[in-house]
Amino acid sequence: MATSTADLLRARLKEVAADKDKQEASLEKAKEAFRAAPDESKRGKLNEIKAATAKICDEYADLARAVSAMSGGTNHAPAPTG
């Protein structure tokens, strides 16, 4: 049976969601470690983890909206005000 684009997207979304959860957990752990032993020299490293997290959050968001649209869902967001 042929795999549809929607099925492929859903499968990819599931993978990315799992990666996103792992990345967010890593970030929260890094934040907790930073707060427990604040060291300003390590703030840059924390920012690197945050940037990686933002990247995977963006990928997840794009996929989630695409899957929603294919399922007939509506993608809501606050209107930009410039």
Partner 1 sequence: MATFTEPDKLSENVGLKVHDFTADTVRWVLSNTAPVLASTFLLSDITQIATSGGYTQMTDGAGGLLGDTTLARSGQVSTVSGTQVVLTATGVVGPFRYLVLVDDTPTSPLNPVVGWLDHGSAVTMANTDTYTIPAGAYFTIN
Q: Which residues contact partner 1 (rule: CB under 8 A)?
A: 24, 27-28, 31, 34-35, 38, 43, 46-47, 50, 53-54, 57-58, 60-61, 64-65, 67-68, 71-81
Nearer to partner 1, 38 or 41 (CB): 38
In whole angstroms, how far apart are CA 50 and each of 17, 25, 28, 81? Answer: 17, 11, 10, 26
Nearer to partner 1, 18 or 73 (CB): 73
- Single-letter amino acid, residue 35: R
Residue 12 CB, nearest distance to partner 1 (Å)? 14
